[in-house]
């Protein structure tokens, strides 16, 4: 088993970091993992939690965190031949997940492996997102051999090919050194995947490699995330979003929540309102994006980004009462 370094960006993550690190140390190779915390000057005890799990803490000064560059800095500090990337509010339910992920690198052509993030059946998490697998997990190879054919694919096909997720991903360190993440506040993983495919590198998606991860989406958070996502997808890939459906998804969500026997009436009402607000935030944010693009082009998109996404959106958990 090659050496594996785990890199986790952290900012005031005490509510979830312990669970994350516990799941790493409980891995079948947990005592062999080098865990590196890229800490943005947390003030809530996150640093002490990290040290309890024998993690190395690296300071990221105020205002300097960047999704691409901070991870690159972590890679420079890592001693492992393989780099596993995750986040402070994700945890692995299976204790052999990282070992299984690392086995894919027995194939010397494989440069990166991505898994699947899911939402567990927990009452403080949106029931409409609870993990319900419908098919057997499989390993899918991603490689581009003909760039002209790739560019001629429909946008949704291109997106499915380059989709990547640094909540649950592993890389050869040599690949990250040769091709580091770009400087960006979002989608550093998708851009890396796209560039890797352009090089002809072999990437794998293994849907059996599951981590649990959840962000509670208030209206403001959902609006900001939708604009950020649309902005960066256009910036790097020239993908323009389609206007999302609104009414039918809200009707379907209401139906499924009413039918959910695990929820009380109060919980059903809460989650119906929550999902409705999230849908509306995504809808109106996308309308804003498309309107700005049509009336003012890229300069208007940039102005909107500076207005709605002044700081990098950070996921939160639902406050329990």
Is 209 in the same domain as 236? Answer: no
Is 60 in the same domain as 140? Answer: yes
Helical packing angle, 155-162 and 188-198, nearest 10°:
100
Q: Is residue 128 part of a domain?
A: yes
Domain boundary at 213, 240, 259, which?
213
pLDDT tens-digit map of 142-186 = 988 888 888 888 888 899 999 999 999 999 999 999 999 999 999
Q: Is residue 317 part of a domain?
A: no
Cβ neighbors of 130 (< 8 A, separation 6 or more) are 119, 120, 121
Model pLDDT, residue 60:
96
Model pLDDT, residue 143:
86
11-22 mean pLDDT: 96
Residue 186 contacts residue 229 (beta carbons within 8 Å): yes
129-141 mean pLDDT: 91
237-258 mean pLDDT: 95
The least confident of 238-242, 246-250, 307-311 is 307-311
185-192 mean pLDDT: 95
Residue 89 contacts residue 168 (beta carbons within 8 Å): no
Model pLDDT, residue 321:
56
Residue 264: count other Cβ atoms within 10 Å of its Cβ.
10
Q: Is residue 319 part of a domain?
A: no
Is 141 in the same domain as 61? Answer: yes
Q: Is the dihedral of CA 224, 227, 230, 233 positive or negative?
A: negative
5-32 mean pLDDT: 96
Residue 73 contacts residue 58 (beta carbons within 8 Å): yes
Q: Within a 13 Å sphere around the CA of 237, how many CA atoms are in the beta-carbon half?
A: 29
Domain containing 185 — which CATH number? 3.90.550.10
Residue 45: count other Cβ atoms within 10 Å of its Cβ.
14
Q: Is the dihedral of CA 217, 219, 224, 229 positive or negative?
A: positive
The least confident of 192-196, 204-208, 312-316 is 312-316
Give me the domain span that covers residue 253: 219-308
Is 140 in the same domain as 288? Answer: no
For 58-74, b/e burial (b = at least 16 CB within 10 A) is: bebeeeebbbbbbbbbb
Q: Is residue 277 part of a domain?
A: yes
Is 184 in the same domain as 94? Answer: yes
308-316 mean pLDDT: 79
Give the mean pLDDT of the chain: 94
Q: Is residue 315 part of a domain?
A: no
Is 169 in the same domain as 235? Answer: no
What percentage of the chain carries pLDDT values higher than 70? 98
pLDDT tens-digit map of 48-107 = 999 999 999 999 998 899 999 999 999 999 999 999 999 999 999 999 999 999 999 999
Q: Tell me the CA distances in angstroms from 92 to 125, 214, 292, one per residue in order.
A: 17, 13, 40
Kindly state the tokens that stand for 231. Answer: 């902005």
Is 245 in the same domain as 268? Answer: yes
Is 136 in the same domain as 17? Answer: yes
Is 130 in the same domain as 265? Answer: no
Domain boundary at 179, 213, 247, which?
213
Q: What is the DSSP letter of 320?
A: P
* Alpha carbon distance 215, 228 (integer Å): 15
Model pLDDT, residue 17:
97
* Number of domains forming the structure of the chain: 2
Is 206 in the same domain as 259? Answer: no
* Alpha carbon distance 181, 183 (integer Å): 7
Domain boundary at 195, 213, 231, which?
213
Model pLDDT, residue 134:
82
281-304 mean pLDDT: 96
Is 196 in the same domain as 304? Answer: no
3-state secondary structure 131-168: CCCCCCCCEEEECCCCHHHHHCCCHHHHHHHHCCCCCC
Is 192 in the same domain as 290? Answer: no
């Amino acid at each position: 088993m090659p050496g594996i370094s785990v890199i986790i960006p952290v900012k005031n993550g005490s509510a979830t970091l312990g669970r994350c690190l516990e799941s790493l140390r409980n891995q079948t190779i947990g005592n062999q993992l080098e865990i590196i915390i890229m800490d943005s000057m947390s003030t809530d005890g996150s640093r002490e939690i990290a040290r309890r799990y024998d993690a190395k803490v690296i300071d990221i000064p105020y205002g300097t965190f960047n999704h691409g560059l901070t991870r690159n800095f972590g890679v420079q500090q890592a001693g492992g031949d393989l780099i596993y990337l995750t986040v402070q509010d994700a945890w692995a339910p299976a204790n052999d997940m990282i070992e299984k992920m690392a086995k894919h690198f027995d194939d010397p052509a494989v440069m990166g492996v991505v898994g699947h993030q899911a939402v567990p059946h927990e009452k403080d998490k949106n029931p409409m997102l609870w993990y319900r697998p419908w098919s057997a997990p499989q390993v899918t190879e991603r490689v581009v051999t003909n760039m002209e054919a790739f560019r001629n694919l429909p946008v949704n096909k291109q997106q499915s090919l380059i989709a990547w997720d640094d909540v649950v991903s592993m890389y050869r360190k040599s690949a990250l050194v040769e091709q580091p993440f770009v400087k960006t506040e979002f989608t550093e993983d998708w851009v890396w995947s796209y560039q890797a495919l352009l090089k002809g590198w072999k990437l794998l998606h293994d849907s059996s490699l599951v981590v649990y991860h959840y962000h509670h989406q208030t209206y403001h958070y959902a609006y900001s995330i939708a604009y950020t996502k649309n902005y960066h997808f256009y910036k790097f890939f020239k993908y323009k979003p389609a206007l999302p459906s609104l009414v039918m998804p809200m009707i379907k969500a209401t139906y499924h929540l009413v039918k959910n026997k695990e929820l009380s009436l109060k919980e059903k009402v809460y989650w119906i309102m929550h999902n409705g607000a999230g849908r509306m935030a995504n809808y109106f944010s996308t309308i804003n994006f498309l309107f700005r693009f049509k009336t003012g082009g890229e300069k208007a998109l940039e102005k909107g980004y500076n207005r709605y996404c002044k700081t990098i959106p950070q996921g939160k958990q639902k406050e329990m009462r």
